Structure 1
Amino acid sequence: MALLMGLVLAVFVVGLSLIIRVYVVVKAGSKCRPGTEGSVAVLAVAGSGGHTTEILRLMECLSAAYTPRHYVLADTDKMSEDKIHNFEGSKQHSDSQFIIHRIPRSREVQQSWSSSVISTLKALWYSVPLVFRLRPDVVLCNGPGTCVPLCAAGLLLGILGMKKVLIVYVESICRVHNLSMTGKILYTISDYFFVQWSSLKDKYPKSIFLGRIV
């Protein structure tokens, strides 16, 4: 009972603090005006290991109109930044319009679900001001827990009538019969939800199946 009351209090405090932070961001005005007419500002969520490899394969398919490109990764992710720099540097007509941002990780591997509530709230604390400042047109993600607070922030931006942010989720190719926990959370709020196995399409009718796309 005491733990539940503590969690409720934590949610209330974080929620109130976020409202204040959002008000400050909106009041000050966004200094970052991503994109110009005809361009699409994209926020791609990287995750350690295979998640980053898959998200970069998706980014490789995007045209030059997707600029600037904002990559967000967990502050404990030590490998993804090098992969992103190598990817962007290898592009033939790279205009260097990409920025890497870091936020706290929502949930570490094998972290307990009770403690992950607190860490997710911490990640949300950083995600909301970041998304409200960048105001991306698209949030592109493929499974790391880090994308949950970022997608929630993008959804909030639309709920407040400030900007419609498209949430595009591509389930990892390793998910054949069941969605990841992140996928289950984002299935209901994403605008486009892609799966890479027909067995998942049968279970989740809202999803889009185009075969293997990464």
Structure 2
Amino acid sequence: MMNIVTELQKDRFTPRYYVAALTDNMSLEKAKGDGEKTMENAYFMQIYRSREVLGLGWSSIFYIESIARVQRFSLSGLLLYKLRIADQIFVQWPQLQQKYPRAQYAGRLM
């Protein structure tokens, strides 16, 4: 990823958002280290890693299945559904909700 960032035509892509894990101290520093051109119209932020979020007692996990999934869940959706990892799963097709009754039919979301 850093190879892509260093070759990026920074004046063509503005604003740019650089996102790294909260525990990753190196990636944003490398991105910032590209000089003044990088800092211009760039935003740097850090977020929790997914495994860190799963460990928090107060968090909720919502999953929205792709609109392209009409008949059955994707592998990600199936794992979240079968293992009961997600607090809520939203589907965008009524027949998908009929097949997976714990999912919530929400209509077209994306």
Matched, 1:170 2:69: no
Pairwise mapping of residues 44-59 of structure 1 onto structure 2 (< 5 A)?
none
Q: Secondary structure at the match of 1:172?
A: coil
Q: 1:181 — aligned with what?
A: 75
Instruction: Tell me the equivalent position of 1:101.
Output: 20
Q: CA contact under 8 A between 2:67 and 2:108: conserved in structure 1?
A: yes
Cα 1:99–1:206 change in 2 (3 A) is farther
CA distance in 2, matches of 1:191, 1:99: 29
Given residue 156 of structure 1, which amino acid in structure 2 is its aligned partner?
A: G
Residue 211 (1) aligns with residue 103 (2): no
Give deviations 1:72-92, integer Å, cap 9, x for gaps: xxx59x7xxxxxx76xx5xxx
RMSD of aligned residue pairs (Cα, Å): 3.3
Secondary structure at the counterpart of residue 166 of structure 1: coil
Q: Which residue of 1 aligns with 2:9?
A: none
TM-score, normalised relative to structure 1: 0.30
Amino acid corresponding to residue 20 of structure 2 in structure 1: H
One-letter amino acid of the counterpart of residue 189, structure 1? I
Q: 2: distance between equivalents of 1:186 and 1:153?
A: 17
Letter in structure 1 aligned against 2:95: S
Q: Residue 192 of structure 1: CA displacement?
A: 2.0
User: How far, CA to CA, are the matches of 2:101 and 2:52 in structure 1?
Assistant: 25
1:101 CA displacement: 2.4
Determine whether 1:155 maps to 2:49. Answer: no
Q: Please name the residue that 1:58 is paired with.
A: none
1:111-159 deviation line (CA, Å, top 9, x unaligned) = xxxxxxxxxxxxxxxx9x56xx845xxxxxxxxxxxxx82x4322222x
- Which TM-score applies when normalising by structure 2? 0.55
Which letter maps to 2:59?
Answer: V
User: How do 1:9-28 and structure 2 match up within 5 A?
Assistant: none
Greater fraction of residues in strand: 2
Instruction: Give distance in 1, aligned partners of 2:52 and 2:95.
Output: 31
